Copies of this chain bind each other. A is one copy, B any other.
Amino acid sequence: MTTAKKRTLQVGIVQQRNSEYADENIDLLERNIAALAEAGAELIVLPELHNTPYFCQVENTDVFNMAESIPGPSTDRYGALAASLRVVLVTSLFERRAPGLYHNTAVVFEKNGTIAGKYRKMHIPDDPGYYEKFYFTPGDLGFKPIDTSVGKLGVLVCWDQWYPEAARLMALYGADVLIYPTAIGFDPRDDDDEKARQKDAWVTVQRGHAVANGIPVVTVNRVGVEPDPGNATAGIEFWGNSFVAGPQGEMLTEADDQPVNQIVEIDMTRSETVRRIWPFFRDRRIDAFQGLVKRFLDET
């Protein structure tokens, strides 16, 4: 028997606390990205909507002024940064596609600074403090991994992370790793038990995607309290806790609730080893899965 030669990927994660000033946030991101690249990161992942505060706490039409075209100023800047540092970079932008048509879009840059591909967030949440359905049209690019020099990246965004279908489709399209830029936090009014259950559920469901698909998962969250501009709530306490899990769901690293730049080594050959002992793809009952494209199965 021959064994595939181990191939590793050095993934850098930027768990950042954002201010209300985009310039400050972007400057800090640039420094964090550069530090990780210098330390050897080949792939760097940022949190969701990393340029700004999490602006969906209120519904305000002025906020659309923060959106920009793709390509546009941010892709120019991050593309140049990726090229100068020779890293693959996963960014998360507020895309203005047309007047009145906006998306929550992840853009991936190749090491030469070109846009390797983009993913428009497919599942859009809406609950108190996260009024995303006001701002973002659900994505129309499907669940397609983005081909890069470091592998096929199954980039999904935040709310997508609760959906096994999204992870499965990325894996079926041949993704080598799942990547989730994220902005999730506690309601400060919840008690500690509820907070613990929420964070644990969030980690667990994503580790579950790793297990079910034999694929590593990289999740990068923002961190810190951001006040509600509308003063209707106590704001959001972004919980950080960025993590990387291997293809058996095993935790490779897990951040706490402070800003952190970290490099994590992923063994990219391990998925095949794990899938050989747990060949879930072999046995999927695709003949009996038609119901998955239905909203609910109450009338069959």
Contact = CB atoms under 8 A, between A and B. Distances in A.
Nearest to A173: B297
Given A142-B288, A159-B283, A249-B200, A168 B165 contact: yes
A253 to B, nearest CB: 16
A197 interface: yes
Given A123-B285, A277-B127, A283-B124, A212 B290 contact: no
Interface stretch (A31-39, A92-100, A101-109, A201-209): A201-209
Total copies of this chain within the assembly? 2
A7 interface: no
A66 interface: no
Interface in A112-166: 122-125, 127, 138, 142-143, 159, 162-166
A248 B198 contact: yes
Contacts of A278: 162
A125 B285 CA distance: 12
A298 B145 CA distance: 12
Nearest to A290: B293
Interface of A: 122-125, 127, 138, 142-143, 159, 162-169, 172-174, 197-198, 200-201, 204-209, 211-212, 248-250, 277-281, 283-286, 288-298, 300
24 contacts: A125-B283, A138-B285, A162-B278, A163-B284, A164-B208, A164-B212, A165-B285, A169-B289, A172-B294, A174-B297, A197-B248, A197-B249, A200-B250, A205-B211, A205-B212, A207-B208, A208-B208, A208-B211, A281-B295, A284-B295, A286-B294, A286-B295, A289-B293, A293-B293
